[in-house]
Chain A
């Protein structure tokens, strides 16, 4: 009965569709657009990570790009030192995951609430921006990797086949790897949200006090969700460092932090598809706007965001989902987690 598009059938369909797109796009899209598309895919992984912790965990994080940036830097610094990319890749997941766990520990266990949590995470991100920006002198090196201040780290070596540094990932390869990673993260999160752990996370978002009274330590579950989200963002950061072969403190900037939030708002919180759709759509529009001179790109994007907040407050995907469900006249066939705007 619940085998609607949010059920397992939907999951298989989404996976197949994702794989088809992954194989077909390079055939039909021109090479310049493929470069763009690869970055969209990478950013979609970042968007998913925020979709998890905000949309499902109910954790208002304005600093998701901090974990993204830490992942990117961890990878860049490690791969310059190690040569082989296997351990750097793992570090790009583990370091931001641990950083999120540490930050989350202080914030959740101190019972910092919504808005303050948002403000603090944003502040941490901006501090990282300043700190990394201040590393321009030659004394700021980690092993063989100069940090480079606001100029960042250039010539970041690409990922390679594990243990074989001479087998470096090509740019086409990066598209496929990013696409597979996005799919894997999506499927993994879907399964996680269906598990007991995921159920508890969602229940805590719905009513934290009640979950506690049923015996769940909400702080622990939030911390775990936050750390998972941080680790996923870090992985996206690693791919991003590969994409540009470059990383700079700009990843910790206000613009980057705001973008992720906009993707999730436009796509819709409380779904996993929403952040992906929002990320692709907004980036595509931004690219198109950047290519013309008639209108100011930021102005148009700002208008779109305000329009969405006012007219489609739930975001694209939940709104379409609602419409489909209404058409089927099945008031009780709700998805596992009802799409709902999380304040």
Chain B
């Protein structure tokens, strides 16, 4: 569903990504692990078009989207929940959700999302900034899913969030993966979370993938130390 070849990008003249290669099948969950500053966020931003690709190619659903605008990629079915969540602070929860679904025709996905994430039901009138970090994360996820994407990119969804909400998010993502065949690229520092969801794990260092491991290997202290050298 997505095929990335020799991807290069960066900020201004500073190159960050140096030849990223990977492919994903529909419904696959790929975890990306790496230290701070290794280029995880930059990779996701490049995939959604927020940062320009300087070299290489991104194909999504058989279509070359390397130079497509962010809004075109979103409409093609790439959803993105960024680090920091990016809720519209002054729009209500409901308005935030509506922003997520507008571009898709057919039936509204919002009732379904409220079914998945009932905590939001009591918050619909609240402005986004009136939500806790965990609630914002759930809203960001629900808003993204309301657009019925085929692939979602999650940037450290568990960062700064209480464990009960982390578990809820993990559970829901597991369900959605199974029921919708949703593809997920999951950038995480929380090894337990990645182990729960990922089909395979890519290790990123200095803007390139250096290894691919299976989630089971994350139980192995030596492997973890070797790649993430704590």
Known: A215-B74, A215-B103. Is A202-B91 also a contact (CB below 8 A)?
A: yes
B99 within 8 A of A: yes
B147 within 8 A of A: yes
B130 within 8 A of A: yes
Once the chains bind, are B86 and A215 in contact (CB under 8 Å)?
no
Nearest-neighbor residue (CB-CB) of A207 within chain B:
B88
Which residues of chain A have C-beta atoms less than 8 A from B75's C-beta? 215
Docked complex Cα distance between A2 and B69 (Å):
36
Once the chains bind, are B99 and A334 in contact (CB under 8 Å)?
no
Once the chains bind, are B95 and A217 in contact (CB under 8 Å)?
no
Which residues of chain A have C-beta atoms less than 8 A from B102's C-beta? 196, 200, 214-216
A340 within 8 A of B: yes
Choice from A202, A211, A215, A332 contacting B147 with Cβ under 8 Å: A215
Once the chains bind, are B86 and A210 in contact (CB under 8 Å)?
yes
A337 within 8 A of B: yes
Once the chains bind, are B69 and A211 in contact (CB under 8 Å)?
no
A6 within 8 A of B: no
A199 within 8 A of B: yes
Docked complex Cα distance between A257 and B112 (Å):
49
A209 within 8 A of B: yes
Which residues of chain A have C-beta atoms less than 8 A from B70's C-beta? 209, 212-213
Docked complex Cα distance between A291 and B80 (Å):
61
Nearest-neighbor residue (CB-CB) of A197 within chain B:
B102
Once the chains bind, are B74 and A332 in contact (CB under 8 Å)?
no
Q: How far is the CB of B223 from chain A (nearest CB, A)?
A: 34
A98 within 8 A of B: no
Known: A2-B125, A212-B71. Is A206-B100 also a contact (CB below 8 A)?
A: no
Type the 1/0 row for A329-343, where 1 means its CB is closer than 8 Å to any CB of B: 001111001101000
Once the chains bind, are A206 and B90 in contact (CB under 8 Å)?
yes
Nearest-neighbor residue (CB-CB) of A335 within chain B:
B90
A299 within 8 A of B: no
B127 within 8 A of A: yes
Interface residues of B in 98-119 (CB under 8 A from A): 98-100, 102-103
Once the chains bind, are A332 and B99 in contact (CB under 8 Å)?
no
Centre residue among A1, A206, A333 by max chain B CB count within 10 A: A206
Which residues of chain A have C-beta atoms less than 8 A from B80's C-beta? 213
Once the chains bind, are B99 and A214 in contact (CB under 8 Å)?
yes
Choice from A1, A216, A340 contacting B103 with Cβ under 8 Å: A216
Known: A199-B99, A340-B90. Is A213-B74 also a contact (CB below 8 A)?
A: yes
Docked complex Cα distance between A2 and B91 (Å):
13
A128 within 8 A of B: no
Which residues of chain A have C-beta atoms less than 8 A from B147's C-beta? 214-215
B198 within 8 A of A: no
Once the chains bind, are A338 and B88 in contact (CB under 8 Å)?
no
Once the chains bind, are B125 and A216 in contact (CB under 8 Å)?
no
B126 within 8 A of A: yes
Choice from A196, A203, A213, A338 contacting B127 with Cβ under 8 Å: A338
Once the chains bind, are A212 and B127 in contact (CB under 8 Å)?
no
Q: How far is the CB of B25 from chain A (nearest CB, A)?
A: 24
Once the chains bind, are A214 and B48 in contact (CB under 8 Å)?
no
Which residues of chain B have C-beta atoms less than 8 A from A217's C-beta? 69, 71
Type the 1/0 row for B66-88, where 1 means its CB is closer than 8 Å to any CB of A: 00011100110000101000101
Which residues of chain B have C-beta atoms less than 8 A from A210's C-beta? 86, 88
Q: How far is the CB of B142 from chain A (nearest CB, A)?
A: 13
Once the chains bind, are B99 and A211 in contact (CB under 8 Å)?
yes
B89 within 8 A of A: yes
Choice from A214, A218, A331, A338 contacting B100 with Cβ under 8 Å: A214
B50 within 8 A of A: yes
Interface residues of B in 155-213 (CB under 8 A from A): none
Q: How far is the CB of B121 from chain A (nearest CB, A)?
A: 14
Once the chains bind, are A337 and B99 in contact (CB under 8 Å)?
no
B143 within 8 A of A: yes
What are 21 of the A-B contact pairs (CB < 8 Å)?
A1-B125, A196-B102, A200-B99, A203-B95, A206-B90, A209-B70, A210-B88, A211-B99, A212-B69, A213-B50, A213-B82, A213-B86, A214-B71, A214-B147, A215-B103, A216-B102, A331-B130, A332-B130, A334-B90, A334-B127, A338-B90
- Complex A-B, nearest 8 residue pairs according to Cβ-Cβ distance, in ascending order: A215-B74, A215-B103, A338-B90, A212-B70, A215-B75, A217-B71, A210-B86, A206-B88
Chain B residues within 8 Å of A, Cβ to Cβ: 48, 50, 69-71, 74-75, 80, 82, 86, 88-92, 95, 98-100, 102-103, 125-127, 130, 143, 147
Assuming A199-B95, A199-B98, what are 5 further A-B pairs, CB within 8 angstroms?
A1-B125, A203-B91, A210-B86, A213-B80, A340-B90
Chain A residues within 8 Å of B, Cβ to Cβ: 1-2, 196, 199-200, 202-203, 206-207, 209-218, 331-334, 337-338, 340
